Structures are given as C-alpha cells and as structure tokens.
Structure 1
Amino acid sequence: MPRDIDQPRTRMPRLRKPNATDGAEIWELVRRCAPLDENSMYCNLIQADHFRDTCVVAEVDGEVVGWISGHMIPGQNAFFVWQVAVCPSARGLGLGGKMLHHLIARDECAEAEELKTTITKDNAASWGLFRSFARKIGGDLSDEPHFKRDAHFGGAHDTEHMVTIDLPGAAPLKKAA
C-alpha cells in the first residue's frame, strides 16, 4: 500500500529482483499508473515469482515505487518489456531508464541483441522513455503496427506498435550498468 504517495522522492530507489511477496504491491502500483493496462493480481504475482530474473522492482524504504516486467522472447535474441510503472512520487528521477539499463545488464539478458516492447501511438510517456533509452545506448529505434485494433483487439483497444531497439555493443552495456 502507498504510504506517502503525494510526497516527491528525492533519493534514488534501490533496484532489485522481485519476490512473490511483492505481487500485491506491484499490482497496486500498476493500478496507480494510468493508462497502463491492469493485469490480475495473480498475473503480477506469477511475474514476480516465475519471471523474477527478467523483472525489476525499485523500492524506497520498503515501498515499491517502480516496476518493469519483461522476458526473453523464446527462440529470439530479444528481451521483451511488457510493462513499465513508476509511482507518481518517483517520477522525474530517470527511474524508468535506470531500470531498463539494470535489466539489460543482467546475465539472464546476456543473449539479447534487441529490446522490444509494444506501445500505443498516444502513450507519450512510453515513447519518451524508449526513445531516450535508445539515444543513450546508441541504438536504432524502429516501430510498426503489431497487435491491431480490429484484427487483434476486436475494436476495443488501440493498435499496439512493436518498438524494436538494437542493443549495440551489448557486452560494454552490461559493464557500464
């Protein structure tokens, strides 16, 4: 549960692998981060437990203030970022980018040559985060419609564009993070 949601953070949160006991707090964080799609609490619990090696939480004083869920795409040398959430009180610290760098530097992502994610065209915050990340690592960013409004979502959700960022010099990236 959020303790001091209106108080801005002034120190950088600690980044770590999640635990199953973080599932409920992650779910609450995602709920506070519109326009993110809310998954079930059980989904976040499974991510924090089964996919902990490719997910990250950011915490301050024991409170989860940031979350990225992701996984290596089976059969590809690509790391897929499913969701990025940063508590309103922790925004403006560059936390999203720091969590991305942290994940890409993990041994579990050593084979990744690309980072992929999907973003709707109107999600300015996500576009800003991933464009900034691509610039900082010197990677090329491309996108194309992937999950389409009518073909995949039955008209109930905007088209999700597959964003691909090349991870140039992945080994030096891992040492720098």
Structure 2
Amino acid sequence: MTAAQADLHIDRPEVADGAALWRLAKESGNLDLNSSYAYLLWCRDFAGTSAVARGDDGRPVGFVTGYVRPDRPGTLLVWQVAVDAAYRGRGLAARLLDALTARVAAEQDLTAVETTITPGNTASERLFTSFAARHGARVEREVLFATDQFPDGPHDPEVLYRIGPLTDLPNH
C-alpha cells in the first residue's frame, strides 16, 4: 500500500456526502448522472450497501453505491463507482469494491455481485472482471436493458455482469 493509499479511509457514506458523490459522478464523464436529490437519498437509505473513500481531510474522493436485490437477498447490485481524477490509477475502485463486499458479507449472506456496464466502458469491465478473478468467481454476461428500452433518447445497452458464486468472503 502506498502512502497515498494509506491516507485514505473507507467507510459508509453519510447524508452530508451526497453533494460530493453527485460531483464525483458528474466529473467521472461516463456515469449516468442522477439528480443531486438521488445521491442524498442514496447516502441516507443505502449507506449500509455503499462505501465512500475519504482523503486525509475527510473529503470523499471515491465511492461505490449499491443495494441488495429484494428478490435475491444474497445479491449485491453495484449501481455506480466513481473515483476523483486525482486518485485514479491507484486501485482505489478495487479497494472500495472489496471493502464494500466484505462489509456486506459480514452482515448478511452474500453469494453474488451484479452490475451493469455499457459496452466500451473498459475501466468498469476491468474492475469487475478482476474482482471476479480475485474472488475465484465466474462472470456471466447478458444484455439487461436494450437500447430501445430507454425512453429518454439514445442510450447504449446495459450489460448485466453477474459475478458468483462468492465463496471467499467473511460469511463463508
């Protein structure tokens, strides 16, 4: 771990982090930006299934948001991952994802992680396939939402990545 990584602390987001998460998502350049209100709600209602990385000044420099699927309680769906440009290329997104899944698995039975990725988002593809490799899990891919299902104009398809079974997390 480098000195820059040691200065980071990963924990649950708080409502006060909502604006910073919205800015990180906006500045990422490749995420669908939700309303600022949505990030505030996310930090309130889904803090237990989300994580934020804080710099030594306490400011959020990265985040991962997710939720446990109601119809699949062993599955964590990762909604968004974003890292401040100054912190990219240091493995922070992977650290966030590993920390979040370890925390969720310690609190409940977690057997799979899902996310959606648009074709061509190689950073996300690498993040999730390397997560699967680190945890000895398979990756299954299928189109979850086709281009023509989006009512608000052109949108690339969203490909579902299902990663599992996860067998090396704290609950196993």
> What TM-score does the superposition give when structure 1 sets the normalisation length?
0.87
Output aligned runs, 1:79-98, within 5 Å. 79-98=76-95
Deviating more after overlay: 147-156 vs 65-74: 147-156
Gaps of 5+ in 1: 1-8
3-state SS of 1:46 partner: helix
Output aligned runs, 1:1-177, within 5 Å. 10-12=4-6, 13-60=8-55, 61-76=57-72, 77-107=74-104, 110-153=108-151, 156-169=154-167, 172-174=168-170
Matched letter for residue 84 of structure 2: C
Sequence identity (%): 35
Q: How far apart, in 1, do the equivalents of 2:140 and 2:104 lie?
A: 25
3-state SS of 2:170 partner: helix
CA RMSD of aligned residues (A): 1.9
> What TM-score does the superposition give when structure 2 sets the normalisation length?
0.90
Q: CA deviation at 1:154?
A: 6.1
Q: How far apart, in 2, do the equivalents of 1:174 and 1:40 lie?
A: 34
Q: How far apart, in 2, do the equivalents of 1:160 and 1:145 lie?
A: 6
Gaps of 5+ in 2: none
Is the Cα contact below 8 Å between 1:78 and 1:112 reproduced in 2?
yes
Distance 1:106 1:65, change over 3 A: same
3-state SS of 1:82 partner: strand
Is the Cα contact below 8 Å between 1:72 and 1:112 reproduced in 2?
no
Matched letter for residue 169 of structure 2: L
Matched letter for residue 113 of structure 1: T
Is the Cα contact below 8 Å between 1:137 and 1:167 reproduced in 2?
no
Q: How far apart, in 2, do the equivalents of 1:99 and 1:68 lie?
A: 7
Q: How far apart, in 1, do the equivalents of 2:68 and 2:120 lie?
A: 26
Deviations 1:107-140 (A, max 9, x none): 4662221100000111111001001111111110
Q: CA deviation at 1:10?
A: 2.5
